[in-house]
Amino acid sequence: MKIALVGYGKMGKEIEQILIARGHTISLIIDVNNTADLDADHLRGIDVAIEFTTPQTAYGNIVKCIEAGVPVVCGTTAWLDKLPEVEQLCKAKQGAFFYASNYSIGVNIFFEINRYLAELMNRFGEYDVTIEETHHTQKKDAPSGTAVTLAEDILSNLGRKRKWVCGTTTVPEELEIAAIRRSIVPGTHTVTYESDVDSITMTHTAKSRRGFALGAVLAAEFLQGKKGVYSMEDLMQA
């Protein structure tokens, strides 16, 4: 495929290496120095755009690609208030869009286990649940998109929690997310259920960015030739 990399930071460079190793061509790279080049002319002939930028720029980048008829794989988080508009545009333009808060295959297995465990623990009200996430200090959002996905899935399956909050809470109906920023940690997420007599802890630890980058490339390969809006659940079940 001919790929446009929209965002050329550490993730963009990791994705580039995997694309090349898998036989793809990077036909366009957009970074902070040439944002004006993200237009229909430069996107002509591109099979898929892979977007990893910032919460402030992601929505505009996605819109430009979809309007140019280019499918988009997006890994930027903390912009999802605009997701319904992207889905509507994608439908109107008969485009293709793939979004995930985390592209790691391991994390998406972790999501599945998290949903199952929350459903199981719904029967046992003596257990409280908390989430902790630790990332490198350069991460732009807190809590992480992965932590938010974990929290939303718990809320959907655990009736005693009504909303999540970032930081400490003493309100029983609130789900606490602790967001820690430390050194060069790629990403660690822990879900803990705790009662007076024991605790159950489930943790996913990323060893590098490579797992996230590989998942994004797999998503781009999956998206080629498709129309509609997709997620990692679709990829995992393909």
Which is catalytic among the residues 10, 42, 136, 139? 139
Residue 180: beta bridge partners? 134
Residue 191: beta bridge partners? 131, 202
3-class DSSP assignment, residue 60: helix
- Contact (CB, 8 A) for 50 and 60: no
Is 189 one of the catalytic residues? no
How far apart (Å, rounded) are the C-alpha atoms in residues 155 and 24? Answer: 40
How far apart (Å, rounded) are the C-alpha atoms in residues 192 and 230? Answer: 30
How far apart (Å, rounded) are the C-alpha atoms in residues 38 and 95? Answer: 17
Question: Cis link prior to 55 (omega < 30° from 0)?
Answer: no
Which is catalytic among the residues 135, 161, 189, 204? 135
Is 226 one of the catalytic residues? no
Sign of CA dihedral 12, 35, 73, 142: positive
Q: How many CB atoms lie within 10 A of CB 86?
A: 22
List the catalytic residues.
Answer: 135, 139
